[in-house]
Chain A
Amino acid sequence: MNGPLIVQSDKTLLLEVDHERADACRRAIAPFAELERAPEHIHTYRVTPLGLWNARAAGHDAEQVVDALVEFSRYPVPHALLVDVAETMARYGRLTLSKHPTHGLVLTTTDRPVLEEVLRSRKIQPLVGTRIDPDTVAVHPSERGQIKQTLLKLGWPAEDLAGYVDGEAHRIDLAEDGWALRPYQQQAVEGFWHGGSGVVVLPCGAGKTLVGAGAMARAKATTLILVTNTVSARQWKHELVKRTSLTEDEIGEYSGTKKEIRPVTIATYQVLTTRRKGVYPHLELFDSRDWGLIVYDEVHLLPAPVFKFTADLQARRRLGLTATLVREDGRESDVFSLIGPKRFDAPWKEIEAQGYIAPADCVEVRVNLTESERLAYATAETEEKYRFCATTATKQKVAEALVRKFAGQQILVIGQYIDQLDELGEHLDAPVIKGETPNAQREKLFESFRQGEISVLVVSKVANFSIDLPEATVAIQVSGTFGSRQEEAQRLGRVLRPKADGHQAHFYSVVARDTIDQDFAAHRQRFLAEQGYAYRIVDADELLAQDTDPDLSGA
């Protein structure tokens, strides 16, 4: 009666992390419960039907789930919840998708009324073919993903036994010379491989590329890697050449400028979703080779058209990589149903404790608008309001003060609005990287930043993702894409690569007080706050006062 777990009536599980049995409990509930929040003292997990079905798919039964809950619970577990768990899990496996020797892909059932029920659904009807016998119905092979997704929504998830194609074999090995996969990376690769397809969630800077490389080394087959932009594509290529037996010639880049198709091809989402005259001309890439593995980098950014293509790729192994599986459009569940369930998830603070990402100090700097700015803000058009308060002049002063304070360290200044960034670049005498900066120029600037030739870089949202800047230690965010939680996390991620000397990273978010900017900031910070990053709030006035006092300035 003194367990670390409290089961709530809304099916959330509260885990007291300081409890002596917390670790055992975490392991017991991890297969079926989603970690939702991980602040300092009490972590929140949620039991969802999807989670329970994934647990079933992974070979856990209802009895195990109930036992884990009862075993660790501090208070009696409501009977209704236990019944619900058993009933939900019993829904899995009544329908199976499998390969029939003569009819191809078929949906079979062990419970005829269930099949009748789903076949009556208008959403299922176009996806299935002829009824082969009372318990079996043919499914169009191209609709494998679609029907799985639809069945999931109907509450009768299908067990997919149709298997995967091996793809065209291609030898890939990890070149573990002087380095090795970290334990959690190893676990992630194993978790993915065992499950067949799925999503691996790791904090920024925790080495997701290596998980991809590890998966490729397991698949030993031709691989298609989808990434967010060209810079990221180059980084992937660079990393793969360095970490695996692959050579430059074996890796192709398929982007706006180059159209190479090689055994390992790295393509950008942008080129795939380019549309000409109503068709996607680069869609053929998916069929251009017999891919054995498809890797989706930053899977939380998966553009909507790629969802559709992915639905047709259900016979191929799919690996999704992300740090922040939160989408403001709420399509997380589509990612799970099309790429696959979450196979591995590590709380940020846990990886930090292991020393693989740098500890970070998150600070929100509250800036007061001036009298005249307040009046102007009050009268601004609704759609202009955010831009107005996010680009207030006081923020520039704060940014400059912070840059002075951390002089000598590698500093990134990140913002949303180009005018604001240009102005900052001018005042700080720092180069600006924005959308119109050519790729060559970007890479050159990043390289000199890495080398320490430049210490301050002003970047727009183009640098949100996948840009590897190991030595950046301070990030100053002056404005963002409204309330995007994942953007905030990704930006913090830019400074989380472990530092050579092991010192702390700093993340400053400059926010205009009493404006919509502050509301957005609160929302943006939620993901990180739930991961245990406690923001401090500081008044800009204090900061500026320190700045003018020479004794207190400097780090």
Chain B
Amino acid sequence: MGTGELDREAHVAAGTEVNGGTAAPRTLAEALRARGDEGLAALLRARPDLLVPVPGDLTQLATRAGTRASVVRALERLDRFALQTAEALAVAPDPAPYPVLLGLMAGDEGDADIEAALPRAVGILREQALVWGDDDRLRLVRTARELLAPSPQHPSPTGLGPTVAEATAGMSPTRLQEIIATAGLPTTHDPVSAVAALTDLFTDRERMGGLLDTAPMEALGILDRLVWGPPYGEVTPDPTPPVRWLRDRGLLLPATARTVVLPREAALHLRAGRAHRVPEPVAPAVTPAREYRPQVVDSTAAGQAYTALAAVEELGKEWNEGGPAVLRAGGMSVRDLKRTAVALDVTEQVAAFWLEVAYGAGLIAPDGEADERFAPTPAFDEWLGLPAAERWALLAGTWLAATRTPGLVGSQDTKGRTLAVLGPDLDRGVAPEVRRRVLTLLAGLPAGASPDPETLLARLRWERPLRGAARETGTDLRARLASWTLTEAELLGVTGRGALAAHGRALLPGAPAPGTDHPVDGHAPEHPHRGAVPAPAAAGPEAVGGRRPAHAAVADHAGAAALLAPLLPEPVDHVLLQADLTAVAPGPLQRPLADTLAVLADVESKGGATVYRFTPGSVRRALDSGQAAADLHAFLAAHSRTPVPQPLAYLIDDVARRHGHLRVGAASAYVRCDDDAVLGEILADKRSAGLRLRRLAPTVLAAQTDPATLLEGLRSMGFAPAAESAEGDVLITRADAYRTPARTAPAPVPEGPPEPDATLLGAAVRAIRAGDRAATVVRRDDSAAPDTAGDGAPPRTSAAETLATVQAAAMTGSAVWIGYVNADGAASQRVIAPVRVEGGFVTAYDHTADEVRTYPLHRITGVAELADDAG
């Protein structure tokens, strides 16, 4: 790829524009210029990357739209039919009139679906500036052509090979003569007209048919194998007769010494003109797998929504006394995740999901202390105070817009590190778009219908087909995101039994009404290229500016909350007490009631109802929290629908009877004396106030000061106390020999550093050699490069020059000397061998640092070629 060519595409015609008048545009820039503002806005909306930074003029916009990175990005966002159309244009003559394109897509026989869908596909390509020119002269932008056209290294998805002209490029004229002669064409000495004659023969259906009629059966079999690609076949130096037959007539042309290729024109003849084996003009429909009554769906989803709230609430409660520690690299350890999963009684994957949702909603966060732990945020308490439906709206809204993907937790990144929940690297930019798209597709089904997940995935694949490597390795992030979306939506209660619930639908503003999935007309809001884009864009600035306030998301989804609210179970204000010392709350309890009961009894089972069990331990806990037995009796009597069973009343009294019977406290020292009058005297003395004495028993005082101070204090008051050992003996004070705490003896300090080992030595030598190479090269360069100041200052070149030099170096694989300013503004010089120049970055082997690094081009102040290496 050369920048020169791109430039021509963009501006060469600028000079001829004047005399062109209203004639067809001759460059992309011209075509863009001819568009209205609407059209330009549509282009920028579809390809927002062109906006950063905002291009100075249309020429610049056209250039930017033609860069490889931007074109790849645009191609990756095409639906399958638009992509197939682009692929067909890439194998068509340039420019191609519309009928030719239609012929390639629909074949000789034609296809009504394709005829109907093609204008839309061309429209999309044109809108995105991938195709320009009017219908007589459709041109695919050069970069896209290069990306999509078949080459031996990158076989085209069409399975077509090179044209006759391309395949015969280096062939000897004699050989060409032989071929056209064998094919029954009039001989000509001019190779160009020979190629043209052969091309004409292959594209003429009738004459070609006649030629093939004479072919031996085996030869037709060989063609059959190659026709849908890959078009290359291996041949031995001494080919079999049928291969020889084909080769002699140019139906197989030599590609390399050992391979032959079926030329594009011949293949198209055999395919009846079709560029694609299976053109897919119509988006596959998402079909319902099962249909439920919408009420069933809504209530199931509401039940799950309630479970979601309970899970997050419980998570917060679980962490009330401080959550798990934050790993040094961020996130939570696997062990803590396991523990949380056990506490919530869910699988680790589900626990990870709740954690991420709560984290995304700002309900939990690291506390920022030195010994960092996770904990609920103040927003959590605020959230608890909201009505249930609004609490849900916050969770669902957060989930919908989140780029964090809990589904990735536990998998490994490219460096083999396990991705931790709440940790870094879980953000996937496409996640919100996929989620919204999946839900929108669900919204297109009739109310109450749950989709067949396979058809849903097929539809998503059609809308965003995979290109290149991802397709072969099967690491389809979008498909995984889509299936996670289905599970997560179910967990959150956005869907119920797989079908979108009414409150789930309300989360999607502008979602289609139920049952309106018309894949063919797929335009405007239905189209995947739009609708999805604003979401991340809108989230962008806020993400930078700080967390969205909790209430904003709630307000966004007030409609959803309003729909959900009546479906959520009404909190109940009573429990049923039973003689087996259990209490059943036949629904969610009102909060103060639930809190008190949770202290007074142990939760035995959760769900729609809650089962509590009273045990001596739980009753003791309630008493410890400051409630008296009478309070507990009154509480139970007030909230029980049924009489309080006698064994329960008895249990409370029995525990209360013994509660507080033993008292425990802390004292630092004590005074004891058989004569309680003396102790009374001490207490009455004002001077004893500082000793903080308290009478525990007639003959015992407890002090809050240490024994030494107490002895001192009592002596100063005129008493003669004796110290007592732990066993009660009188301590005799005697000066002890003073000792340090345990200490280790000093280690010997030999002179000089320890002897280095082999590894250290090897590394040191390598480093020295690398530094040396950098230094010597630079010195030689000083004299050679006139651009640079003679005193070894970094080179300075213009940006264009820099780019050209670096690209040239990448092609030849040679090293260059660059001046570089790092992110802190510090300038340095390095010797690098560029490997790849792409998207504004140079990836290069840095001789100075002895590793491969990537440098932004704009930070390179200048570049100079190195003098030939003398070594």
Contacts and interface: CB of A to CB of B under 8 A. Distances in A.
Given A14-B584, A76-B299, A79-B496, A39 B608 contact: no
A417 interface: no
A73 interface: yes
Listed residue (A6, A10, A75) with the most chain B CB atoms within 10 angstroms of its CB: A75
A301 interface: no
A480 B645 CA distance: 25
B605 A16 contact: no
Contacts of A78: 303-304, 307, 607
Given A40-B579, A76-B299, A537 B650 contact: yes
A491 interface: no
A239 interface: no
B606 A40 contact: no
B157 to A, nearest CB: 35
Nearest to B578: A39
A1 interface: yes
Interface in B478-521: 490, 496-497
Given A75-B608, A536-B646, A39 B299 contact: no
A74 B607 CA distance: 11
A514 interface: yes
Interface string A1-41: 10000111110101010000000000000000000010111
Contacts of A41: 576, 578, 584, 642
Given A8-B608, A75-B587, A534-B645, A529 B579 contact: yes
Contacts of A1: 299
Interface string A64-108: 000000100111111100000000000000000000000000000
B303 A9 contact: no
A461 to B, nearest CB: 25
A535 interface: yes
Interface bin, chain A: 35 or more
Given A6-B607, A7-B608, A16-B586, A530 B576 contact: no
A190 B1 CA distance: 86
Contacts of A42: 576, 578, 584, 586
A377 to B, nearest CB: 15
B496 to A, nearest CB: 7
B580 A537 contact: no
Interface in A513-541: 513-514, 526, 529-530, 532-537
B580 A10 contact: no
Contacts of A12: 605, 607, 611
A6 B586 contact: yes
A8 B496 CA distance: 17
A77 B299 CA distance: 9
Nearest to B653: A537
Given A16-B586, A73-B608, A75-B608, A9 B307 contact: yes
Contacts of A40: 578-579, 642
B658 interface: yes
B569 interface: yes
Contact of B606 (A8, A76, A77, A533): A8
Contacts of B302: 76
Interface residues of B, number: 36
A362 to B, nearest CB: 10
Contacts of A73: 608
A514 B301 CA distance: 49
Contacts of B582: 37, 39
B300 A77 contact: yes
A113 to B, nearest CB: 21
B80 to A, nearest CB: 32
Interface in B595-633: 605-609, 611
Residue among B579, B606, B646 having the largest count of chain A Cβ atoms under 10 Å: B579
Given A7-B607, A514-B658, A79 B497 contact: yes
A76 B305 CA distance: 10
Nearest to A37: B580
Nearest to A529: B580
Interface in B272-326: 296, 299-304, 306-307
B564 to A, nearest CB: 12
B304 A8 contact: no
B581 interface: yes
Given A39-B580, A76-B304, A536-B646, A8 B497 contact: no
Contacts of B300: 76-77, 79
A75 B646 CA distance: 31
Given A8-B611, A514-B658, A537 B586 contact: no
Contact of A75 (B296, B497, B569): B569
Contacts of B606: 8-10
Contacts of B345: 9-10
A534 B646 CA distance: 8
Interface string B567-583: 00100000010111110
B611 A79 contact: no
Contact of B581 (A70, A77, A529, A532): A529
Contacts of B581: 529
B790 interface: no
Contacts of A535: 579, 647
Contacts of B490: 79
A2 to B, nearest CB: 11
B342 to A, nearest CB: 13
B658 A526 contact: no
A14 B609 contact: yes
A537 B657 CA distance: 15
Nearest to B295: A1
Contact of B303 (A39, A75, A364, A529): A75
B580 A8 contact: no
Nearest to B305: A76
Contacts of A533: 579
A37 B647 CA distance: 17
B303 A537 contact: no
Contacts of A536: 646-647
A42 B490 CA distance: 30
A368 to B, nearest CB: 11
Contact of A8 (B579, B587, B605): B605
A359 to B, nearest CB: 15
Contacts of A7: 607-608
Contacts of A16: 586
Interface string B390-423: 0000000000000000000000000000000000
A75 B301 CA distance: 11
Contacts of B650: 537
Nearest to A536: B646
B601 to A, nearest CB: 15
A44 B303 CA distance: 21
Interface string B640-656: 00100111001000100
Nearest to B299: A76
Given A7-B607, A37-B580, A74-B586, A537 B646 contact: yes
A37 B345 CA distance: 22
Contacts of A79: 300, 304, 490, 496-497
Listed residue (B307, B490, B607) with the most chain A CB atoms within 10 angstroms of its CB: B607
30 contacts: A6-B607, A8-B606, A8-B611, A9-B345, A9-B605, A10-B345, A10-B607, A14-B609, A14-B611, A16-B586, A37-B580, A39-B579, A40-B578, A40-B579, A41-B576, A41-B642, A42-B586, A44-B611, A75-B303, A75-B607, A76-B303, A76-B304, A76-B496, A79-B304, A79-B497, A514-B658, A529-B580, A535-B579, A537-B646, A537-B647
Interface of A: 1, 6-10, 12, 14, 16, 37, 39-42, 44, 70, 73-79, 364, 513-514, 526, 529-530, 532-537
Closest 6 CB pairs of A and B: A76-B303, A534-B579, A8-B607, A75-B608, A529-B580, A39-B578
Given A14-B586, A39-B579, 15 more contacts: A9-B345, A9-B607, A10-B607, A12-B605, A16-B586, A37-B582, A39-B580, A44-B611, A76-B299, A78-B303, A78-B304, A78-B607, A529-B581, A534-B645, A537-B646
